[in-house]
Amino acid sequence: MKPKIILIGGGGHCKSSIDVIEQVDEFTIAGIVDINSSLENLFGYPLLGNDGDLSKLKEKYEYALITIGQIKTPSIRIKLFDHIKSIGFKLPIIISNKAYVSKHAQIGEGAIVMHGALINAGAIVGKNCIINTKALIEHDVIIGDHCHISTSAIVNGGANIGRGTFVGSNAVIKEYVTSREFDFIKSGSLFKGHTND
């Protein structure tokens, strides 16, 4: 029998995450946790409560995944990650069967790798990251914890993406550059690293 998992956040990223989790077929989705009480269900999965109910839900469920998206700031995802870890939830690594992750890459707990993403040899992806649809993480890249690498973004070999960074859709990160923590790299941009301020 597959273990049950609860999903925290019921917006657009949750919908995409449900699709990946259903396709991977390692967990049964028990339901959604969301602050929006008008969200009765999502694709047939019930609303189990809000963030204040997580301690109670831990008595029934062992696994959780944060399915709130990240654009302007990672602060909500970081706060939730720290909270659900502190009350004892396990955060699995979810990798779409339609993604490619090298056996020589490392993925941190609570991360999700969406359809069509590619993570090459020697890459390290931190905890609680979103590697979104068709993103490319090249060899020896380091992605810090709590990052969102958006759809079709390219992170070239040896780049180091700082903790909490957002990399927009179709952005290209030059090889061997380093971003700061909590950087915001715009969609469609070419990131060549920071010049000395």
* Per annotation, catalytic residue among 83, 115, 139, 194: 139
Q: Quick one: three-class SS letters along the chain? A: CCCEEEEECCCHHHHHHHHHHHHHCCCEEEEEECCCCCCCEECCEEEEECHHHHHHHHCCCCEEEECCCCCCCCHHHHHHHHHHHHCCCECCCEECCCCEECCCCEECCCCEECCCCEECCCCEECCCCEECCCCEECCCCEECCCCEECCCCEECCCCEECCCCEECCCCEECCCCECCCCCEECCCCEECCCCCC
Q: Is 115 a catalytic residue?
A: no
Q: Do residues 160 and 191 make contact, with C-beta atoms less than 8 angstroms apart?
A: no
Give the residue numbers marked as catalytic: 139
